[in-house]
Amino acid sequence: MAVSFTSLAEADNATTIIVQEKVANGIFTPNAPPDVSYQDEKIKLISTYNVDGSITINAEDLVLRKKFNVRLPDELAQLNELRPIGDEKIVAVGLLNSVVSIITIIDHKTRMIVDKFYGYSPEISPDGHWIAFQEFFPPHGYNDISSCYRVYNSSATAIENRVGHNDIFDPQVVGTSIYPVRFNSQLAECGVTNDEGEFIRISDSFTWGRSSDYFLFAVGEANMLNIILVKLDRKNNNWETFVYDLNKDKNICSQSECNLARVKSLNLKNGLVKFKILPTNKGEKPIDMLISIDKFSLAQ
Amino acid sequence: MKKIVISLMTISLLMLSFFHPDWRLSAATGYGCDTGYGYGYGSPTLTINSADLVSNKISISLSGLGNLSPGPLNIELVGAKSYFISFENGQAVGDGTYEVKFDRPSVPEGIYTNIIATWSLCSGEVSQTYSLSPNWRVLGNIRHSQYNTPAESVCSGPSETAWVFDSECTFTETKLNSKFALQTYINGTGSSIQHGILKYSKKCNKAYPKGANAKNAFLLVSEITGSCNLEMTNLYQAAYPNPAKKSTKFPKCGDDTLLVDKSDTNFAQKEIQDYCPACNDGHIDNYTDVEYCTANQVGDLGTFWTANLGK
């Protein structure tokens, strides 16, 4: 089954963002924390680092003219992004250490933290409904590495994001596994636990379409270099994962080193997935690629 | 008529001058051969004596200029990409031994296999190719993060019930500082007061006692070793892919790395000794033995121009 392009519409955000200070991935300076803030016509969010090392969000509801504070989880070391999700929730994304992210979901009405989870390189969809991320595993001590890619539904509850899970506060196994699809049950752990990891992400992060109904990323392993397109259906809370193996078609990475390739500037426009690829880590010039989404097939 | 003859002679002289070999070179390089010493050819030779990226010194000897005009010395670092500099901003140099320095932070990412030095003289170009062994593998200006082993001795706050287990999956119930237990789970390793080094592991997750889980039950290990099986120190780094894996061609366990700051000053020389699965974006994680409870005090080392020098 090929991916249908017509459903991958582009849309403009309804909310006008007045101020948004956020931190790009890859900087961890908790002793000199970066400024992080957000303001639109309805809400203003700023952050304060407390003397004890904790971080507080100072929120102002500009419609109701009410101010409130929310203390974020103690393990959060650096705040990187703050933003509302619709009128109901606020999401705070930060770092636990140099590489692991923590995502905190706050209920706007109760002003309470309603969920938190850990992961790598989380990217919030433009409409705030979804959060794409790589499943958490401890970064040091080289066992139990997970290469599972997930999506969190921010409009659902913590329990709904842990269907069938015994521990509703588990920060590790959260949301829905969207790749690899052989582990695609909603609750299950990916099960990818070996000492090397597989399906290594070779794109810097997850690239969302403006319409929030798809995102792109790339993974590599041995002779396989997969460009992944995940289509999301917000109305039915459903998803489909489409894959295109670039190496099978174009013989990009020699010597079974697809996990060393780097994919940059991924985007989708007019039915074409455009990106730059560095086939190895040997300093060669990037190759511009343009792949029609007709070439993608439903992941089995 | 006399004027015409003089003009023809002038044109002839100009043409002769133009086709003289030294004139052609000077037209191309801007360095004339007429030195006032008269025309003549020496036996110019160029020798690259050594090339060292750590001291940033490429020693080049020039000799045999004779009465030729000095000429500019150009150096090219050659690989998948190339990097070119003109010694002394392209000024002419004569016989002597020179120490050439690269502006290392501007050398782009890539594997460099040779250095080609070229001395441009009236008599032609003299050059030598110097093979770099091992090759210089420049990683470019990359992020260097840091990681430590959380220490329970400096964690404040209450304790909680926890478990430690050995490789036989024998569990012992204990108490661990709550903050420390969480940091051990987040980080992957921790140094406890009572039980020594603890490590996150799901190896015995089917044998968990009631109440135990991956967040409060940790494997007992004797020391903090990297994937290359050496005890970690401040001089060791973790990189991607796993340097200990046989199939990994680069980086390998024991590879030396050089970190250079923006002002082209050496910041540190370290060694790859661990695997960093989250470093697939190209950054390097540096181990630090500072005893902190949380990561708040262990920020990034910074961005440094980095080269892997092999073993």
In a domain, B184, yes or no: yes
Q: A232 vs chain B: nearest CA distance in angstroms?
A: 26
B135: number of Cβ within 10 Å: 17
Q: Do B188 and A77 touch (CB under 8 A)?
A: no
B91, B33: one domain: yes
Helix (H) or strand (E) holding B187: helix B178-187
Task: Calculate mean pLDDT across residues B116-136.
Answer: 95
List A residues 15-74 in contact with B (Cβ-Cβ < 8 A): 25-32, 53, 74
Q: Which candidate from A145, A202, A283 shows the least CB-CB separation from B81?
A: A283
Question: How many percent of chain A have pLDDT more than 70?
Answer: 85
Chain B contact present for A90, CB below 8 A: no
In a domain, B167, yes or no: yes
Strand ranges of the sheet holding B189-192, from the earlier edge strand across to the other edge? B171-177, B159-165, B217-221, B196-199, B189-192
Q: Which candidate from B140, B186, B300 shows the least CB-CB separation from A138?
A: B186
User: Taking the alpha carbons of B51, B55, B56, B57 in that order, is the dihedral positive or negative?
Assistant: negative
Task: Calculate mean pLDDT across residues B46-68.
Answer: 96
How confident is the model at residue A153, as a pLDDT? 94
Question: How many percent of chain A have pLDDT more than 90?
Answer: 52
Q: B274 vs chain A: nearest CA distance in angstroms?
A: 9
B116, B213: one domain: no
Chain B contact present for A120, CB below 8 A: yes
B105, B30: one domain: yes
Q: Pairing relation of β-strands B217-221 and B159-165?
A: parallel
How confident is the model at residue A182, as a pLDDT? 58
d(CA A262, CA A243): 17
Chain B contact present for A257, CB below 8 A: yes
How confident is the model at residue A68, as a pLDDT? 95
How many domains is chain B built from? 2
Chain A CB contacts of B80 under 8 Å are 282-284
Task: Calculate mean pLDDT across residues B292-310.
Answer: 92
Q: How far is CA B308 from each of CA B107, B120, B137, rounded to the nearest angstrom?
A: 13, 32, 5
The domain boundary residue, chosen from B76, B106, B135: B135
Chain A CB contacts of B144 under 8 Å are none
Chain B contact present for A191, CB below 8 A: no
DSSP secondary structure code for residue B148 in this structure: -
d(CA B130, CA A20): 52
Chain B CB contacts of A200 under 8 Å are 241, 280
Question: What length does chain B have?
Answer: 311
Residue of A nearest to B228 (CA): A142
B129, B47: one domain: yes
B112, B156: one domain: no
How confident is the model at residue A131, as a pLDDT? 96
Chain B contact present for A140, CB below 8 A: yes
Task: Calculate mean pLDDT across residues B260-289.
Answer: 93
Q: Do B186 and A28 touch (CB under 8 A)?
A: no
Q: Do A98 and B138 touch (CB under 8 A)?
A: no
Give the position of tokens 């002779």.
A223
How confident is the model at residue B115, as a pLDDT? 98
Q: Looking at the predicted structure, is the pLDDT value of residue B90 above 80?
A: yes
Q: Do B147 and A26 touch (CB under 8 A)?
A: no
How confident is the model at residue A9, as a pLDDT? 52
Domain enclosing residue B176, as ranges? 152-221
In a domain, B47, yes or no: yes
In a domain, B306, yes or no: no
How confident is the model at residue B283, as a pLDDT? 93
Q: Looking at the predicted structure, is the pLDDT value of residue B274 above 80?
A: yes
d(CA B83, CA B75): 8
Q: Looking at the predicted structure, is the pLDDT value of residue B236 above 60?
A: yes
Q: Looking at the predicted structure, is the pLDDT value of residue B33 above 50?
A: yes
Residue ranges of domains in chain A, CATH in brackets: 17-298 (2.130.10)
Q: Do B245 and A196 touch (CB under 8 A)?
A: yes
Task: Calculate mean pLDDT across residues A154-171.
Answer: 86
Q: Which two tokens stand for residue A260?
A: 């060393």
The domain boundary residue, chosen from B178, B196, B221: B221
B195, B93: one domain: no
Q: How many CB pairs under 8 A join A and B?
A: 133
**Confidence class of residue B177 from pLDDT cuts 50, 70 and 90?**
very high
CATH number (domain holding residue B104): 2.60.40
How confident is the model at residue B24, as a pLDDT? 34
Q: Looking at the predicted structure, is the pLDDT value of residue B245 above 90?
A: no
List A residues 269-288 in contact with B (Cβ-Cβ < 8 A): 281-285
In a domain, B17, yes or no: no
The domain boundary residue, chosen from B100, B135, B170: B135
In a domain, B197, yes or no: yes
Q: Looking at the predicted structure, is the pLDDT value of residue B228 above 60?
A: yes
Chain B contact present for A96, CB below 8 A: yes
In a domain, B217, yes or no: yes
Q: B259 vs chain A: nearest CA distance in angstroms?
A: 18
Q: Do B111 and A99 touch (CB under 8 A)?
A: no
B188, B114: one domain: no
B171, B216: one domain: yes
Task: Calculate mean pLDDT across residues A21-25.
Answer: 78
In a domain, B251, yes or no: no
- Average of per-residue pLDDT values in chain A: 85
B131, B160: one domain: no
Task: Calculate mean pLDDT across residues A265-280.
Answer: 90
B131, B169: one domain: no
DSSP secondary structure code for residue B11 in this structure: H
B168, B205: one domain: yes
B44, B115: one domain: yes
- Average of per-residue pLDDT values in chain B: 87
Chain A CB contacts of B189 under 8 Å are 138, 140-141
**Confidence class of residue B3 from pLDDT cuts 50, 70 and 90?**
low
Q: Do A172 and B186 touch (CB under 8 A)?
A: no
Give the position of tokens 């490789």.
B167
How confident is the model at residue A248, as a pLDDT? 86
Give ipTM to 2 decimals: 0.88
A243: number of Cβ within 10 Å: 21
Q: Looking at the predicted structure, is the pLDDT value of residue A146 above 90?
A: no
Partner residues linked to B62 by β-bridges: B46, B96
Chain B CB contacts of A195 under 8 Å are 242
